[in-house]
Amino acid sequence: MSRVELFGLYRPGDSWVHRMPVAAKFAIMFALSLSGLILRQWPVSLAALAFSVVLLLSSRLGVRRCLVLPPVFWVMIALLVGYQVIWGSVATAIVVVANLLLCVYAARMLVLTTPAPVLLDALVAAARPLRVVGVDPERVGLAAGIMLRSIPHLLASFDEVRDAARARGLDRNLLARVSPVVVQAVAYAHATGEALAARGLGETEPVGPDDLNDRRRAAPPR
């Protein structure tokens, strides 16, 4: 596991945020995130960010677990700030950074205080009305479950490869730090796909030899 996860993992607790219905948590997360992303005004973004931080801290899980983010995330933030200050404006830089932090902390509030099965069940339930447009709610839940499982694995890969490169004196070699992570990500994707196929998941309609023969017999002669 990564030393510091981006969205965190569920931590049991008895705070009012833990006891809040999952639908309310989803509503708060979307309301906070969309307010900053749609309005794009720095006072709104900062206010929504402050509210999400207060909400997250009220889960009583500790400042470190609630607010600390991976170092690579802050590197990305610094690059975004530099780009926006040079090519845009200070106000735009504040909006971009505040909205990014807002989305991460709002999602972390949801993930840290809600068990993964409850999250997936709520997502499947929310996707059920989309059956009318051809969306399979179970596939949505499966995709979300795979994503939640994959993120910690990939973050852990970055940590392991970085430590291995540093031990060999290659910590400044970008190829030595990136290429093993790519290889591990591809291998993980293949293993996940094989596991799903072995369980008959992810296929719309399994077709075997008997099915093909039946289809050939039923086909009209040319």
Whether 98 and 180 map to the same domain: the answer is no
Whether 92 and 176 map to the same domain: the answer is no
Whether 72 and 156 map to the same domain: the answer is no
Whether 139 and 186 map to the same domain: the answer is yes
The residue that leads in pLDDT, 60 or 137, is: 60
Whether 100 and 161 map to the same domain: the answer is no
Question: pTM here?
Answer: 0.67
| Contact indicator for 10, 58 with CB cutoff of 8 Å | no
How far apart CA 51 and CA 49 sit, in angstroms, is 5
Domain that holds residue 181: 129-198
Residue 123, in any domain of the structure: no
Mean pLDDT of 20-33: 93
Rounded to the nearest 10 degrees, how much is the dihedral formed by the CA atoms of 115, 117, 119, 123?
180
**Given a cut of 70, is residue 133 above it in pLDDT?**
yes
pLDDT at residue number 203: 54
Burial, 36: exposed, middle or buried (Cβ in 10 Å; 0-12, 13-18, 19+)? buried
41-98 pLDDT, tens digit each: 999 999 999 999 999 999 999 999 899 888 778 888 888 888 888 998 999 999 999 9
Residue 211, in any domain of the structure: no
Residue 31, in any domain of the structure: yes
Residue 102, in any domain of the structure: yes
What's the number of domains the chain is made of?
2
156-176 pLDDT, tens digit each: 777 787 788 788 877 777 777
The residue that leads in pLDDT, 33 or 127, is: 33
The residue that leads in pLDDT, 96 or 5, is: 96
Whether 54 and 98 map to the same domain: the answer is yes
165-212 pLDDT, tens digit each: 788 877 777 777 778 878 887 887 788 777 777 766 655 544 444 543
106-127 pLDDT, tens digit each: 999 999 999 988 988 888 888 8
The residue that leads in pLDDT, 58 or 216, is: 58
Whether 69 and 153 map to the same domain: the answer is no
Interior angle at CA 78, CA 87 and CA 49, nearest 5? 100
Whether 97 and 167 map to the same domain: the answer is no
pLDDT at residue number 123: 83
Residue 219, in any domain of the structure: no
Residue 51, in any domain of the structure: yes
Whether 147 and 171 map to the same domain: the answer is yes
Whether 24 and 106 map to the same domain: the answer is yes
Whether 30 and 78 map to the same domain: the answer is yes
Residue 205, in any domain of the structure: no
Whether 32 and 104 map to the same domain: the answer is yes
